Structure 1
Amino acid sequence: MMGTESTGFLYPFLDAEERNADALLADLAASAQAKARESAALQRATLEECAEQITAAAAAMAERFARGGRMYTFGNGGSSTDAATLADLFSRPPHGRPLPAWSLAANQAVLTALGNDVGFDLVFSRQLIAHSGQADIAVALSTSGNSEDLTVALAEAKRRGLLTIGFAGYDGGRFATDGNVDFCFVVRSQSVHRIQESQALLGYQLWATVQQHLAGGEGPR
Structure 2
Amino acid sequence: MSLTETIELYLTEKRRILDAFPVAVLERAAEMLFATYDRGGTVYAMANGGNAGTLDHFYCDFKHHPFVTEDKTRPLPADVRRLSFVNLCGSAAELTGLVNDIGFEDMFAAALAPIVTANDLVMAYSGSGNSANVTKALEVAVAAGAGTFAMTKGDGGRCRELAEVCLVVPGTSRFPGQVGKNDNNFHFEDLMLSINHILVGLLKERVAARHPAD
TM-score (norm 1): 0.76
Letter in 2 for 1:173: G
Q: Once the 2 structures are TM-superposed, how far is the Cα of residue 62 of structure 1 from its aligned partner? A: 0.8
Q: Residue by residue, what CA displacement relative to the aligned partner does 1:95-138 show, whole Å, maximum 9, x if unpaired?
A: 65752212111101110111011111111111112332221111
Q: 1:181 aligns with which of 159, 163, 183?
A: 163
Q: Once the 2 structures are TM-superposed, how far is the Cα of residue 80 of structure 1 from its aligned partner? A: 1.2
Cα distance in structure 2, aligned partners of 1:106 and 1:197: 20
What are structure 1's unaligned runs of at least 5 residues? 1-11, 13-26
Q: Retained in 1: the 8 A contact 2:42–2:84?
A: yes
Q: 2:54 aligns with which of 70, 82, 93?
A: 82
Q: 1:196 aligns with which of 185, 189, 198?
A: 189
Q: Is residue 57 of structure 1 aligned with residue 39 of structure 2? A: no
Q: Once the 2 structures are TM-superposed, how far is the Cα of residue 214 of structure 1 from its aligned partner? A: 4.1
Greater C-alpha Rg: 1
Cα distance in structure 2, aligned partners of 1:126 and 1:39: 36
Q: Once the 2 structures are TM-superposed, how far is the Cα of residue 159 of structure 1 from its aligned partner? A: 0.7
* Aligned Cα root-mean-square deviation (Å): 2.1
Q: Once the 2 structures are TM-superposed, how far is the Cα of residue 149 of structure 1 from its aligned partner? A: 0.4
Q: Counterpart in 2 of 1:21? A: none
TM-score (norm 2): 0.78
Cα distance in structure 1, aligned partners of 2:12 and 2:40: 41
Q: Residue by residue, what CA displacement relative to the aligned partner does 1:36-65 show, whole Å, maximum 9, x if unpaired?
A: 22113212321xx2x222222212221211
What are structure 2's unaligned runs of at least 5 residues? 69-75, 77-81, 173-182
Q: Residue by residue, what CA displacement relative to the aligned partner does 1:151-196 show, whole Å, maximum 9, x if unpaired?
A: 000010111121111000111111112xx20110000233211222
Q: Retained in 2: the 8 A contact 1:84–1:103?
A: yes
Q: Counterpart in 1 of 2:73? A: none
Cα distance in structure 1, aligned partners of 2:32 and 2:187: 28
Cα distance in structure 1, aligned partners of 2:120 and 2:26: 18
For 2:117, what is the secondary structure of its paired residue? coil
Cα distance in structure 2, aligned partners of 1:61 and 1:31: 38
Letter in 1 for 2:144: R
Tell me how many residue pairs correspond in the alignment: 187
Q: Counterpart in 1 of 2:88? A: 104
Identity of aligned residues (%): 26
Q: Is residue 37 of structure 1 aligned with residue 15 of structure 2? A: no
